[in-house]
Each structure stands twice: as C-alpha cells, then as structure tokens.
C-alpha cells in the first residue's frame, strides 16, 4: 500500500537539493554560530551568508532578518517585540484563525492594556483585505495575518494586506 503524507503544515520531507546544501554543515561545519571558537566562527560565516541571500531575495536588509527555531518563537518575537517598544498600549489587528502562538500572545498583551481586533474569516476561510483595512486605527502598530492557513489551507492575499501596513 502506498503511504500518503498529509501533514505538511507540521513538517515536510527535506528536498534533496536542500539536504545537499546543508550536508557540509550537518557533518563538518556544525558549530554554534554564537561561539567564538573555530567551529563557531565557521558557522557564523555560513549563517551570515544565508541571511544576506535571504535579505536580497526579499528586498530587505540583512539586519532585518531574524532566524528563529520555528513559528511559535517567531510569532512571540514579533508580538512581544512590538509591544515592548511602546511605553503605552496600542492596537493590533489579527484574525480568530491565526496560529495559537499569535492568539495566545495577543491575549497576553491585552492583559497589559493593549487592544486587539480579532477578525472573523470569510466563508471561504480567508481574511478579507477590506476587513483588515476597516479594522486599522490610528494606534494600530501591528497586523498579524498568516499567509497560508495551516489548518484549512487557504492562502490569504498577503501582498494586498502588506500594502495596508
């Protein structure tokens, strides 16, 4: 019987070309990029090169790229990072179908006086650009809408949403 894997939102098989690109770093250059010894310095060179390539592909600056261990850490970093930069509570726009780390982080900042607008998805499971636009206020400092929903598979119009920011 052929097995079919349908949990790509949790993890995916490693593409052969990705494995080949990583092989050297998995077998020889495996140091901690934060360490000052030789292995660490070699790893830092590789991480910095990857950061530069990614920044160029995204039209960003290398210092704007942060690598995290996964979605939960990234979501927490974004929400708590933004919240920590303001002395007074502000406003966040998100949806009711975001990743749990986004919803939990938003609930936490609400305890500190932040206001969060939780948008409902359309019948298609998508978050409408119009709904986001209508939710934005003068004190909105963060819009957190996932590009591809990991549970229902919808793909939100992220380029159009980004234009609102």
The span from the CA of 24 to the CA of 39, in Å, is 12
**Is it true that domain 71-164 has CATH number 1.10.3720.10?**
no
150, 95 contact by CB (below 8 A)? no
Summarize pLDDT for 29-74 with one digit per residue, the tens: 889 999 999 999 999 999 999 999 999 999 999 999 999 988 899 9
141, 91 contact by CB (below 8 A)? yes
Token representation of residue 51 = 């950061």
User: Using DSSP, how many helices (H) and how many strands (E) does the chain show?
Assistant: 6, 3
Average pLDDT across the chain, whole number:
94
Amino acid 13: pLDDT: 86
Map out the domains of the chain as residue ranges: 16-64, 71-164
- How far, in whole angstroms, is CA 12 from its chain's centroid? 17
Token representation of residue 11 = 């993890």
């Amino acid at each position: 019987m052929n097995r079919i894997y349908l949990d790509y939102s949790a993890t995916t098989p490693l593409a052969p070309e990705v494995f080949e690109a990583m092989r050297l770093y998995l077998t020889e250059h495996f140091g901690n990029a934060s360490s000052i010894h030789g292995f660490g310095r070699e790893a830092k060179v590789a991480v910095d090169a990857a950061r530069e390539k990614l920044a160029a592909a995204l039209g960003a600056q290398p210092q704007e790229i942060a690598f995290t261990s996964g979605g939960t850490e990234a979501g927490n970093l974004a929400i708590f990072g933004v919240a920590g930069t303001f002395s007074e509570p502000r406003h966040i726009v998100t949806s009711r179908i975001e990743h749990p780390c986004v919803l939990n982080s938003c609930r936490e900042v609400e305890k500190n006086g932040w206001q969060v607008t939780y948008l409902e998805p359309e019948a298609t499971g998508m978050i409408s650009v119009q709904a986001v636009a209508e939710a934005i206020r003068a004190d909105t400092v963060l819009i957190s809408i996932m590009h591809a929903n990991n549970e229902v598979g919808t793909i939100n119009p992220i380029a159009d949403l980004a234009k609102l920011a």
